[in-house]
Structures are given as structure tokens and as C-alpha cells.
Amino acid sequence: MHLEFERDLAIRYKSLSQKIWVVSENWVNKEVYCPNCGNTHLYKYSNNKPAADFFCDNCNEDYELKSKGNGLGLKIVNGAYQGMFNRLQDVNSPNLFMLNYDSNSYLVSNFFVIPKHFFVPEIIEKRRPLSINARRAGWIGCNILLNKIPEVGRIFLIRDKQIVSKQKVCEIWQKTLFLREEKKIGSRGWLLDIMRCIEFIRKKEFTIADIYRFESILSKKHPDNRHIKDKIRQQLQILRDRNYIKFSGRGTYRIL
């Protein structure tokens, strides 16, 4: 996998956004494999395809590409807020590729994928409507909040200009595919909440008491649920049954 854009492709374009659009799509088309099945080539959709930019002809996964220069930051600027919300319920919505590049060297610094099953309302931030003087006055966009997504939901193919092995990428992807079986966004959101709590503990092994420490935070987030500890135990059981964690006995769990 090469990290450098083909600059010559951008010569005939004037605006920076057009240049990056051309070279980044070309780079993905040439260098990126499908993280779901490992297929060595992705194909570009025609420009009139809504949302998705690339597809895998082996497993039929779709991917949307977003690019950002220099630092990654905590947010990804996305399209229309309502359109993004509608996509949360669509099983055919694309996964998201995020490409972060060095604007001086035109090298890819970071490249990761957020599988579509990590998209829940919590990670979508509504932006202010465009002013009355704007060409699209009143239009409302949105941001994707990276810090609201569990770390396991940001699968790096390239991190700090270092290439991650395809085997590792595909293993991490497969590890969370069970989330797609949770058709209700609320149910999936609860699992993601517990996965984030587990990550916050920063230990390979943890106890149920460690998770109970997040009870007040989860209560504020889910005010209609008056049995938070029961819900925690239920979610841990689901994660255990899905081989995301292992129950070691006496209230102790281990991340697999």
C-alpha cells in the first residue's frame, strides 16, 4: 500500500477541494481493499450514486469517503442532518472511510473505516442552519462525533503513516459484525454504551463492579430506565454470547 497521492491528476483543477477529491478517490480506488472480506480491489460508483462512493463486488459492502487535511480532530463534517438521520435506519447505508492527509507532502497520514453498525443518533451532531444570506439558506448540516464512537469502531488501515496488516483489520471488523443483528437502534446504542464503558476502564480484565461505576452516567443518558444494573448485566451477557468478552467467573470478564 503506497501512501502518496498522484499529484499529476490534480493539475487541471483550480480549487483545493476539487484537487483533493480527485486524488483521494484515485488513491482509494488503487490502494484500498475491502475491510469486510479482504477483497483486494474496490470499485468506484458513478458520480450520481447517492451517499456511497465505492463498493466491493465480492461482498457488496458500500463505502462513503470523507477526506480531511492535517489533524484528525474530534469531528467529521458530513452532509444534511435529516438525510444522515434517515440513513441510520437503512440497512443499505454505506460504511464510512475517513482519509486524513498531510497537506504539505500529499501523503496519507491516517486512514480508517467506521462500520455502519456503529452509527447511532448519539454520534450525529446537528449544525446551525445556514444564514438567510447563504445560497442554501436554512439548510442544516451535521457532524460525526468521533469521540462518541468506541475505539473498536474506528478501524485503522493506516495509523500515523504506519500500515496496519490486512489480517488485523479484517479480524477487528469481524469482531463487531454481531451489532448488525440488533435492528433496533436503541438496543444497539445500549451495547455501544457498554463497549465504551469497557474501553474507559483501560484493562484487559475487568469486573462487573467496574462497569457499575458508570451507573450514574448511564442513568442520565437513559432516564426512562430505572434498572440500570440489570441492564448492564444483560448487555454484558449479550457481549459474552457474541464472543466480544469472556466471563472468567466471580464477576470477572476479559476482553477477547
Model confidence pLDDT, tens digit, residues 164-213: 999 999 999 999 999 999 989 999 999 999 999 999 999 999 999 999 99
| Structure confidence by residue, pLDDT tens digits, 9-43 | 988 888 888 999 999 999 999 999 999 999 999 99
pLDDT of residue 255: 95
**Where are the extended beta strands (E) located within the chain?**
43-44, 54-55, 62-69, 75-80, 95-102, 107-114, 124-126, 141-145, 155-159, 162-163, 205-207, 245-249, 252-255
Mean pLDDT of 45-62: 88
For residue 136, pLDDT beyond 90: no
At the topology level, CATH places domain 185-255 in Arc Repressor Mutant, subunit A (1.10.10)
**Every domain of the chain and the residues it spans:** 7-165, 185-255
Predicted TM-score of the model (pTM): 0.93
Task: State the Cα–Cα distance between residues 210 and 76, nearest whole angstrom.
Answer: 31
Could you tell me which of 178, 183, 220, 181 has the C-alpha nearest to residue 195?
178
What's the distance, CA 230 to chain centroid?
Answer: 28
Mean pLDDT of 133-157: 94
Residue 6 in contact with residue 25, Cβ under 8 Å?
no
pLDDT band at 48 (very low <50, low <70, confident <90, very high): low
Task: State the Cα–Cα distance between residues 214 and 200, nearest whole angstrom.
Answer: 10
Task: State the Cα–Cα distance between residues 252 and 254, nearest whole angstrom.
Answer: 7
DSSP letter at 54 equals E
At the topology level, CATH places domain 7-165 in PvuII Endonuclease; Chain A (3.40.210)
Task: State the Cα–Cα distance between residues 85 and 119, nearest whole angstrom.
Answer: 9
Could you tell me which of 82, 81, 94 has the C-alpha nearest to residue 52?
94
- Give the CA radius of gyration of the chain: 20
